[in-house]
Structure 1
Amino acid sequence: MTGSDATPSFRLAYVPGMTPTKWVRIWNERLPGVPLTLVGVAPDEAFGLLRGGGADAGFVRLPVDGDDLSAIPLYTETSVVVVPKDHLIASTEEISTGDLGDEIVLHPLDDVLGWEALPGKPAFERPATTEDAIELVAAGIGVLIVPQSLARLHHRKDLTYRTVVDAPASRVALSWPEEKTTELVEEFIGIVRGRTVNSTRGRPPTPPQPKQRKAATGKTGGKPGAKAGGKTGSKTGGKPAAGKNPRGASSAAAKRGKPRRRP
């Protein structure tokens, strides 16, 4: 099927370390008829995938490499150093890059921190991937600084990690091609930004309900001449004025107007 007959769907890319579970769950609750497909992608391939139409939107690491892609920054990750559990660094909670002066600091080719000057001593060669670098750390060849999510992704029982307070940080964002900001993309943006299901942003306003319409036009649905709230008559709550009977004449006047019979 093509065109308007095609079944709508949404493709969401995400880079390693990113966990889109929460937003996918909300999507499935709100749009059960629109399947969402997850597409894993390497950080350096994410923007090409979005431009090529391989995904409608994606969770990427900033910066975005062009003005043709829109991006909403979501959060900044803590950077950590991954070390063997018996390493001296494991005995403290956090360190600075200056504490790594005597360490071999691995710098994988898929690094996402964008170092201007890598601390410590350089390795003989750069590992191809972060996963390869983790294997070298486990072998005791060096240490590795990565976003915390990647340290968790590649967790091993023989390794641990500690916060590096002055290391570059990685920022995660939602990105999509600016010229392809579809209704489904807008829907996902709303979910990521925390809009409720009743939010009117990007949707036609809900028409006023019957009671609201009556209030706007001054109609109450009561009898003609009635005041709002259903009360009628004077401030006495609709009771006849004192001294008058319901027929409009006093009882005394009625007696005086009756002729007497003569014997």
Structure 2
Amino acid sequence: MQVTAPFVVAFVPGVTPGKWERIWRERMPRSPLELRALPPDGALASVHASEAHMAFVRDVTADDALHVIPLYRERAVVVAPKDHPVAAFDELTLADLASETLLPGQGTGTVELVAAGVGLALMPMSVARAHSRRDVVARPVSDAPDTGIGLAWLRTADDPRVDTFIGIVRGRTPNSSR
């Protein structure tokens, strides 16, 4: 019996590939799928280094080496301590935040600094959810740039499982054709 190497899909923080993983396992029981949570720069780098077959990436466009299918856009939010005046609003603008200290970064460490009252942070809504804590709140920022999630892979990829995974992500049924 031949063992198939896993089909590796990397993903950036905030992306939840569980639905696609479940469908893959139903349709491809003999082809293991390995999901790798990586930092934003790591997911794309893993594709370029051929360590991952595909990656869910944020704000990446196609180029001569890379295919990218845009999947969806997500709103930006501001993350603030729970007792900060921002918590009283349903939505804010960048002008509302002009006098605030905005911290760089979108990781757990940044959210810890926000909770400690060092400043506020702008990040995609899904990233804020992934790092949510009881001592911080996230509020939409209506005029902040949104971010795009896409599925990326090398143009030179010749693994037929790439097309299978694309079909799953695009919602094709097992019997549909392209």
TM-based fold match above 0.5? yes
Q: Does the CA contact (< 8 Å) of 2:60 and 2:68 recur in 1?
A: no
Alignment of 1:47-62 (within 5 A): 47-62=44-59
RCO greater where, 1 or 2, for CA within 8 Å and sep 6 or more? Answer: 2
Specify the alignment match of 1:99 in structure 2.
96
1:131 correspondence with 2:108: yes
| TM-score normalised according to structure 2 size | 0.94
1:14 correspondence with 2:15: no
Specify the alignment match of 1:176 in structure 2.
153
Q: Which has the higher strand share?
A: 2
Q: 1:106 to 1:65 in 2, by over 3 A?
A: farther
Specify the alignment match of 2:142 in structure 1.
165
1:192 correspondence with 2:169: yes
Higher Rg: 1
- CA distance in structure 1 between the aligned counterparts of 2:115 and 2:39, rounded to whole angstroms: 23
Q: 1:65 to 1:183 in 2, by over 3 A?
A: closer
Q: 1:145 to 1:169 in 2, by over 3 A?
A: same
**Structure 1: runs of 5 or more not aligned:** 112-129, 202-263
- CA distance in structure 1 between the aligned counterparts of 2:42 and 2:62, rounded to whole angstroms: 11
Q: Once the 2 structures are TM-superposed, how far is the Cα of residue 46 of structure 1 from its aligned partner?
A: 2.0
Alignment of 1:139-150 (within 5 A): 139-150=116-127
Q: Once the 2 structures are TM-superposed, how far is the Cα of residue 134 of structure 1 from its aligned partner?
A: 0.9
Specify the alignment match of 2:27 in structure 1.
30
| TM-score normalised according to structure 1 size | 0.65
After TM superposition, what 4+ stretches of structure 1 lie above 4 angstroms from structure 2? Answer: none
68, 71, 90: which one aligns with 1:71: 68
123, 132, 156: which one aligns with 1:155: 132
Q: Once the 2 structures are TM-superposed, how far is the Cα of residue 9 of structure 1 from its aligned partner?
A: 2.8
CA RMSD of aligned residues (A): 1.6
Aligned residues: 178
Q: Once the 2 structures are TM-superposed, how far is the Cα of residue 67 of structure 1 from its aligned partner?
A: 2.2
**Structure 2: runs of 5 or more not aligned:** none
Q: Percent identity?
A: 46
Specify the alignment match of 2:37 in structure 1.
40
Which SS does the other structure have where 1:106 is aligned?
coil
